Structure formats: structure tokens, C-alpha cells
Amino acid sequence: MAVGNVLGFSAGASGNWHKWFPFLMTRACCEACGNLKAAFLIAVVFLLFCMAVTLYFAEEIALEPKDAQQLSDSAPLLNGSRDDHDASSEQTNGGLSNGHADTNHVSPNSRAEDSTDAGSNSNKDDVEAFNDGPGAVLVKILTSMRHLPPGMYSVLLVMALTWLSWFPFFLFDTDWMGREVYHGDPKGNASERKAYDDGVREGAFGLLLNSVVLGIGSFLIDPLCRMIGARLVWAISNFIVFACMLATTILSWISYDLYSSKLQHIVGADKTVKTSALILFSLLGLPLSITYSVPFSVTAELTAGTGGGQGLCRWCFLLYSVF
């Protein structure tokens, strides 16, 4: 992943996509538009290639079909259909054990039993249809969360808060560099737009450095976890993220103060502030590599010996990350 990020951010830092793929530019698509279209086109090609390789080489083991009578954890959501099914089964068995009945005589009670059997079969069909439906997976995961190991709830909470701090960086890192460090404006005059574009490209270069550190850090995670433990490594990475996010605010204040102190507002970045921002981008590569791997290791430790608990915890992990 780090290698792919390096290739992508190095290409994004150059801004020459429109020259490499001139056919993407039209009267309605400027250079910036051509760069964006070309980048997404290459991303789609790489994604299709990697997916094709995965589908070709990955082998799946078919699971054995489960008993149709077994209900999942989502059964209580089906308005007591299981109780109806058990009651109807008892009534049916009781009716069959009442000796030799006259087959030519149909009593009202037997008609009621027949209607009960029909209702139970209908409820059973509803349960099976629900269990096979597209929303059943999400419901099963949510209702099965009560079976998680005790320490897993703390892991999910920490991971949710961690992603809350990472997403602003993922979404606004280059924009922050263009606005706060280079003092550009994408909707301003020509010089402000140029400063913003330069800042975005410099931010892409910072993300390239971030990916290099991410790749190097991925080789250091295993020795660190063996030395001080996976949980402590994860905790230290979260404190590094906190310090770096706090540093972005401090850098913004310093950059704005230097920009305002000038008699003439020269659009551009202070060299010291720019260097500090690039160092900050690079440092965040190490905790990012830890975030991509160590929480799953902690999950494996907590669910060791629980059978299918690991799969459930990983699904809950994914849901917490998405939400």
C-alpha cells in the first residue's frame, strides 16, 4: 500500500497528468480537470488489475449449509415467530397422538389446527426469507455484538475516536497546506490561485514522504510489538497523532502571524513553516502504519480461542470504522 501511495502522490505532486494524457482535455475541461480525470482513470485501471489478480488466485472453501430449523440472533426481531412455531408444533404433535380418529369426520378443532399449521409454516418461511435477505447480515452483526469479548468494547471505542482524528487529515491535508501554509485561495485572484495550487502540490509531496515513512514503519511494527507489546505501541501512536494534530494548529497560528506581520501580504509559504509542515506530514506515517495493522493484532489477541469470534470482531471493527 505504501508503494502505491508513493507512486500516486509523486504523480500528483507533478501536476503533469494533462500532458501525459492530452486526449482527456476538452473545451469544457481545463488542465486541472484533465489531471483529475487522468488520475482517476489510472486508479480505476490499477484497482481492476489488483481485483482481477485477487479473484483469480484466491480460493474459497464452501461452507456447509446450516440446519433450516436453527434461528439466528435476529429471531427476536421477527415478532415472536419462534414462539408461534413451537406452539404450533406442540399442537400438531398433540393432535397426532389422540388415538384413531375418524378420517371421515372433520371437526372445527382440526380445522383450527390446520390453520395453525399453515400459520406456523408461513412464519417459518418469513424467518428463512429474513435470514437470507440482504439486510440480515447487518442485523446479525448488530445483534451479535453482545457476544463480544469484554475488552473488545474498549478497542472499538478507541478505534472509533482514532478514525475521527484521522479523517480530517485525509480530507483536508493538501487543502490545509494550500490555505494555511501558502495562504492561497482557490477562488481568489491569479496569484492566490497559483499559491493554492503550489500548496496542494507541496501537500501531495508531503503525503509522498508520509507514505515512505509508512512503508518503513511497517517493518518496525513487529519488533516494537514484541518488545513492548501491541497495546502499548497502539497507545503511543495515538499520542503521536494527538501531538501532530495539535502541531497543525500551532503552525497555522505561526504562519498567519508571519503573513500578517508583513507590510505587503506576499502570497506564498514561509520556508520554515513549509519545512515544519513537511516534517509533520512525514511523522504521521508511523502512527498511520500502526493504525492499519496493530488494532487487528489486538483484536486477534482478545478473541484467541473463541472460534468464530474473530470474524465477528472484525466485522464490528469495520462497522465502527465506517460509522
First to last CA, the chain: 23
pLDDT score recorded for residue 131: 56
Name 272's Cβ contacts closer than 8 Å, sequence gap at least 6: none
User: Which pLDDT tens digit goes with each residue over 94-141?
Assistant: 544 444 444 444 455 554 445 555 555 555 555 555 555 666 666 776
pLDDT score recorded for residue 19: 78
pLDDT score recorded for residue 243: 94
Whole-angstrom Cα distance, residue 88 to residue 121?
Answer: 9
Residues of the chain with pLDDT under 70: 11-15, 65-138, 141-142, 144-145, 147, 262-269, 304-323
Distances, alpha carbon 290 to alpha carbons 154, 194, 255, 312, 322, in Å: 17, 36, 30, 22, 18
How far from the centroid of its chain's Cα atoms is residue 40's Cα? 20
Name 174's Cβ contacts closer than 8 Å, sequence gap at least 6: 199, 200, 203, 204, 207
Which helix (H) or strand (E) is 74 found in, with range?
none
Tell if the pTM clears 0.85, that is, is over it.
Answer: no
The answer to whether the CB of 74 falls within 8 A of the CB of 140 is yes
Whole-angstrom Cα distance, residue 144 to residue 54?
Answer: 30
Q: Phi and psi (nearest 5°) for 279?
A: -65, -40
